[in-house]
Structure 1
Amino acid sequence: MSVKGPANAQLPLCVDLDGTLTPSDTLVEGLLGTLGRPAMFGAARALVTNGRTGLKRFTATAAPLDASLLPYCEPLLSYIKAQRGSGRRVVLVTAADISVARRVASHLGLFDEVIASDGRENLKGSAKARALVSRFGQRGFAYAGNAASDLDVWREAGAVILVNAPRHVADAARALCNVEAEFPPVGGVLRGIVRALRPHQWSKNFLIFIPLFTAHALNSGGAWLAAIATFAAFCATASAIYVVNDLTDLPADRRHPRKRLRPFASGAVPIPVGLGAAAALLATGLLLATLSGTLPVLLLYAMLSVSYSLRLKELPLVDVFVLAGLYTVRMFAGALAIGHSLSLWLLGFSAFLFLSLALVKRVEELRSTAKSGGGWLARRGYTPDDAATLQSFGTASSFAASLVLALFVQGEATAQSYASPGMLWAIVPLILFWQCRVWLSAARGYMHDDPIVYAARDWVSWVVAASAFLILAAAKSVGNIVL
């Protein structure tokens, strides 16, 4: 923050909400809250029937805002508190619906008055300027804003407070009126976007390459090219869906002790930027999938992922089975890309393994919620008391996966594909050891809430993976060895 001149206590301090007091957009958040619900169609009708003000009024009712969860500009809050403490009148003036504005004002307890859209007039730009001039007179107020639409207000204001304003907006505002204080934009939007894409989660998409190994197609350049294109398509689409998931899960993330720091939940990245990034990534993924011939599977993956984000994650047990299915879909995509089918043995093993990993993820979230004193896990159908039951399901799935792997190793088809199939037995205890270690880590509280991320950062997991790969290579090339 930089104070440009002494504050005029005679001028009421009028503060904008969206983009200023909070880096978020309350209307967009409300609309995101209606996605996947009947209210989504009501919002469309309200927009057509009553325009933007009608949309704001409907959204404020259909998806009530929890003002306590919004991110706020802390330096601005401190400034407001100091000004109010010196006796200055503080007014919240916003184009958001009056009910939203009143919730924010009630939560913060810093405002003497609230002026907002009332369902008939959208109080933005020139309309906001007219309302303030009518209430306080020309040059009779100071205004804190951030957007180009606020220039109409600053033309009539007695002082300017710039909050997170782009450079061109700030330059234009300085030419209109005396600047009382500036709160420059906080950097790191690009870094926040990268975080929101979750590139570390792309490790899940390496499952696409498994059919290359099981089909013994490692020497095929065409197969590798198709698999790489499919991998890139799934990475782009997955990142798009992660962004959509974060945007539709804002209230739940803000209640979570760690997820509240995510780029959109914390306000580090504007919601419109996230929407644009998601659209571009999805288009890229669809194009690459079309080129690699895996578009149907990618569409299935996207449909399941979006359905999970919007609704299925709230259904107990359905959520973990869908997560397990999303892992398996990746392998189907890899098989389709190289023109080979998946064996029933591989499907059986992966189904149990992936179900176990999905259950680990949910158990860890439940335990984290219990530690923080929470009850029901937000947007999930579980309570912390369910953790023990889910753990029993997960450990049983782990042992079932190892049993299927053991049966596969001694099968006739395996004996025909490997020079020394007996060597594959060494993989069975390795996989079982790794799964038991994952569950033990979860029980001790060491687990990241995503087991794939945990494995990617865990040196023991890397040793297990490297050992399994060496055993596979040896079993393929070294003959006449029986363990």
Structure 2
Amino acid sequence: MTQSPYTPASDASGPTSPAAPVLVVDLDGTLLRSDMLYECLWSAMGRDGWATLKAAARLREGRAAVKRALVDLSEVEVATLPYDADVVARIRTWRAGGGRCILATASDQALADKVAQHLGLFDEVYGSDGSRNLKGADKAAFLRDHLPGGFTYMGDSAADLPVWEQADAAISVGASPKVVAALDASQTPAEHLPKAPPYRALVRAIRPQQWLKNLLVAIPLIADPGHGFEALLPIIAAFVALSFAASAGYLINDLLDLNDDRSHPRKCTRPFAAGTLSPQLGTLAIPVLLVLSALISLLVSPALTGVVAVYFGATVAYSVKLKQHTLLDICVLAFLFTLRIIAGGVAITSGLSVWILAFSMFIFFALAAVKRLAELTDRETAGRQASRRGYVAEDRRIISQMAITSGYLAVLVLALYVDEPMTQSKFATPWLLWGVCPLLLFWISRMVLVADRGEMHDDPMIFAVTNSTSRLVIVFCGLIVAAAMFL
């Protein structure tokens, strides 16, 4: 008897009739360009981190118990999951030819039912039930007993090799060369559907373009040119350490924001949201980046390692909780920018003047407000309501005022700094620095205007280096500072 797409496997009434050819499809990495275990894990982490740790503690009861606990804690939108279009097309063709299709997955039964109900392509659905983990040898034994008439199995990983041994034919989807070789060496006729390697997607996910922000570590060196070229090496080390820590933070942020990113007009193309990068691989990359960051910063000093650790901790706190609190998220973003400058000062053991810190506080608060203004404008024009942040479109006016006020205060602080006798003594031609002030006034005003029009990239720092007008302002400011130092 044919089952509905959302009927639990426990309702099955014994072995299935072999009257029609059967295609059995795996979910994670096959039908879905993602992994539901990690989807649920990061969704649960975003909702309740402590409860997620308690769920992980159930590992002693088996992986199936952990999966069931994570499903109960998470909210995964199956309608926006990254399904593999080629696999879906293959299933439709199979059904059009009179065949029957079964979804058999190690993911929890509740999730498998939701996916099947959404797609409407499967006659039967089987998943893990909280005690039995339907994977590998267990899945192979179940399918052998349930489908005595034989079946074709579509999977993706080494865990599917025992299932392919029981199948009449095999279809691999994006399998590794090792799995493909093992499958070809078996007695099962096999077809292989390749996928693009994940390396480019991983590079996109760690966002190397965002490392430009970490050039702020050089500001203490620029503000005090007396350190000389020997200070470049620790500055470079601080830059790299912060970049790796930042990339780990970006991975965490994107994994936590999967549902929201998939409904975003541009962020839906991010690797995790689009399914070009598995959340499993992203999760494994996080500790690797953190170890590299720690080792590089330790080469400079334990103090720098401490600053990098604070930076990463604040980044994680921001991604998990603080970004959901109105205005506090802007303050945290400004703090993270300022920490980069502090890291540069620690790297060259240079004390930072109160002027530099005050300027940093105001200018970065302004940029963080511009970032939120751009997002609010984008949400309003796109008609989006779902967001993990607590802002509404009506907040645009006050946020734009905050950005302008804070930006202008930063220019005032800079003007006072330029007039300081100590500053005058550090530069060859200090009066040239006054030229930076009007350029910054123009730049800040234009940033707010562009963001309010909805014409800005979500991140104003990226906009600053990609927009031609902003690049000209940056170049002129750099030339003025260089002239003040050396002329």
Residue pairs, 1:158-237, within 5 angstroms: 158-179=168-189, 181-184=191-194, 186-221=195-230, 223-237=231-245
Pair 1:406 & 2:418 matched: no
Range with greater deviation from structure 2 (85-94 or 347-356): 85-94
RMSD, aligned α-carbons: 1.9
What is the aligned partner in structure 1 of residue 147 from structure 2? 136
Residue pairs, 1:422-461, within 5 angstroms: 422-461=431-470
1:42 shift after superposition: 2.1
What is the aligned partner in structure 1 of residue 254 from structure 2? 246
1:292 shift after superposition: 1.1
What is the aligned partner in structure 1 of residue 121 from structure 2? 110
Residue pairs, 1:83-482, within 5 angstroms: 83-137=94-148, 140-179=150-189, 181-184=191-194, 186-221=195-230, 223-293=231-301, 294-376=304-386, 378-478=387-487
For the 8 Å contact 1:159–1:177, the answer to whether it is kept is no
1:82 shift after superposition: 1.9
What is the aligned partner in structure 2 of residue 44 from structure 1? 56
Q: Given the two structures, how large is their TM-score scaled by the length of structure 2? A: 0.91
For the 8 Å contact 1:160–1:177, the answer to whether it is kept is no
What is the aligned partner in structure 1 of residue 30 from structure 2? 20
1:419 shift after superposition: 4.3
CA distance, structure 2, for counterparts of residue 146 and residue 98 of structure 1: 19
2:283 alignment partner AA = L
1:177 shift after superposition: 4.9
SS at match of 2:62: helix
CA distance, structure 1, for counterparts of residue 226 and residue 291 of structure 2: 30
Q: Which runs of 5+ in 2 are unaligned?
A: 1-17
Q: Deviations along 1:57-116, whole A, 9 cap, x unmatched?
A: 111111132211211110110111122233321111111111010111111111111111
Range with greater deviation from structure 2 (68-77 or 380-389): 380-389
For the 8 Å contact 2:400–2:452, the answer to whether it is kept is no
SS at match of 2:106: strand
2:317 alignment partner AA = S
1:175 shift after superposition: 4.2
For the 8 Å contact 1:154–1:177, the answer to whether it is kept is no
For the 8 Å contact 1:218–1:224, the answer to whether it is kept is no
For the 8 Å contact 1:301–1:326, the answer to whether it is kept is yes
CA gap 1:22/1:419 in 2 versus in 1, 3 angstroms: same
SS at match of 1:92: strand
For the 8 Å contact 1:146–1:162, the answer to whether it is kept is yes
For the 8 Å contact 2:183–2:190, the answer to whether it is kept is no
CA distance, structure 1, for counterparts of residue 114 and residue 343 of structure 2: 48
CA distance, structure 1, for counterparts of residue 455 and residue 80 of structure 2: 28
CA gap 1:442/1:278 in 2 versus in 1, 3 angstroms: same
For the 8 Å contact 2:272–2:278, the answer to whether it is kept is yes
CA distance, structure 2, for counterparts of residue 64 and residue 461 of structure 1: 40
CA distance, structure 2, for counterparts of residue 299 and residue 175 of structure 1: 48
1:140 shift after superposition: 1.6
SS at match of 2:447: helix
SS at match of 1:217: helix
For the 8 Å contact 1:162–1:179, the answer to whether it is kept is no
Q: Deviations along 1:14-59, whole A, 9 cap, x unmatched?
A: 11101111121101211122326222222123222x2111101111
2:66 alignment partner AA = L
Range with greater deviation from structure 2 (317-326 or 127-136): 127-136
For the 8 Å contact 2:112–2:125, the answer to whether it is kept is yes
1:121 shift after superposition: 0.9
CA distance, structure 2, for counterparts of residue 287 and residue 167 of structure 1: 33
CA distance, structure 2, for counterparts of residue 383 and residue 9 of structure 1: 57
Range with greater deviation from structure 2 (30-39 or 87-96): 30-39
2:76 alignment partner AA = L
Q: Deviations along 1:236-291, whole A, 9 cap, x unmatched?
A: 21112212222222222112111111112212122232223222221111111111
CA distance, structure 1, for counterparts of residue 455 and residue 406 of structure 2: 21
Runs of 4+ with >4 A deviation: none
CA gap 1:175/1:398 in 2 versus in 1, 3 angstroms: same
Q: Deviations along 1:403-455, whole A, 9 cap, x unmatched?
A: 22222222333333334433222111011111112122212332111111111
1:232 shift after superposition: 1.2
1:51 alignment partner AA = G
1:219 shift after superposition: 2.0
Q: Deviations along 1:275-323, whole A, 9 cap, x unmatched?
A: 2322222111111111112111111101101111111111111111101
SS at match of 2:122: coil
SS at match of 1:155: helix
1:286 alignment partner AA = A
What is the aligned partner in structure 2 of residue 3 from structure 1? none
CA distance, structure 1, for counterparts of residue 246 and residue 274 of structure 2: 21
Range with greater deviation from structure 2 (421-430 or 106-115): 421-430
1:383 shift after superposition: 1.9
1:251 alignment partner AA = N
Query: What number of residue pairs does the alignment pair up?
Result: 466
Range with greater deviation from structure 2 (287-296 or 265-274): 265-274
CA distance, structure 1, for counterparts of residue 192 and residue 19 of structure 2: 17
